[in-house]
A and B are shown apart, each in its own frame.
Chain A
Amino acid sequence: SQKIEQNSEALNIQEGKTATLTCNYTNYSPAYLQWYRQDPGRGPVFLLLIRENEKEKRKERLKVTFDTTLKQSLFHITASQPADSATYLCALLRGDYKLSFGAGTTVTVRA
């Protein structure tokens, strides 16, 4: 069966450190992978997209990698700030052009 798994545990890190989140998938061949941020009581907000032929993508303090051999994406928040505290979702585009979402990883950045 198809699965998308993100870090099962919440991540607690000190301000200024790098947070690294994982997204592993099985039985998918996604054309691309997206990352979203969700704050409590709000809808997800798109952050980044990485295509299957791209190894790495950056946006400000965010970096995403995509390894189709390992079936894994890593999401890094560098120089983390308390304002980065949120839940981060990965989503894969399926062959029928719909997105499948992981359950999310909650990140808390301590000042």
Chain B
Amino acid sequence: DADVTQTPRNRITKTGKRIMLECSQTKGHDRMYWYRQDPGLGLRLIYYSFDVKDINKGEISDGYSVSRQAQAKFSLSLESAIPNQTALYFCATSDPKGRSNEQFFGPGTRLTVL
């Protein structure tokens, strides 16, 4: 079973619609992250949370909001989607006590905004 899951895996929506992407993890990690990936630009951090009561903006948070409902769940919302938010979105987790501080990524959500 996957440790980090994302739903939906694919979504096509129209400009102006509200969209929520969900992330769940069974790794027991406190830290969770949302990234977007665009061709040629690499992964860029949107929001991150170091525990349930902690929410922080990343490099590109404009147009996005998040909710950390529980240790295991971290949702990303696009309040009013626009075409340049078309991208691949990844959720990730990490354990600050881990030796490598590696991040564990979900399978991604491909979002298309028409």
Contact = CB atoms under 8 A, between A and B. Distances in A.
A91 B100 CA distance: 12
- What is the predominant secondary structure among interface residues of chain A facing chain B? strand
Given A89-B43, A101-B42, A103-B40, A42 B108 contact: yes
- What is the predominant secondary structure among interface residues of chain B facing chain A? strand
A45 interface: yes
B42 A46 contact: no
A93 B101 contact: yes
Contact of B102 (A34, A42, A97, A102): A34
A42 B109 CA distance: 10
Given A43-B92, A49-B100, A98 B45 contact: yes
Nearest to B91: A43
Contacts of A98: 45, 48, 58
A50 to B, nearest CB: 10
A41 interface: yes
A99 interface: yes
Contacts of A45: 105
Interface residues of B, number: 22
B42 A89 contact: yes
Interface in A38-97: 41-46, 49, 89, 91, 93, 97
Given A89-B42, A101-B43, A49 B108 contact: no
A37 to B, nearest CB: 11
Contact of B105 (A43, A49, A93, A104): A43
B19 to A, nearest CB: 19
* CB-based closest 10 A-B pairs: A43-B105, A46-B102, A103-B42, A101-B43, A101-B42, A49-B100, A44-B105, A43-B90, A102-B42, A43-B106
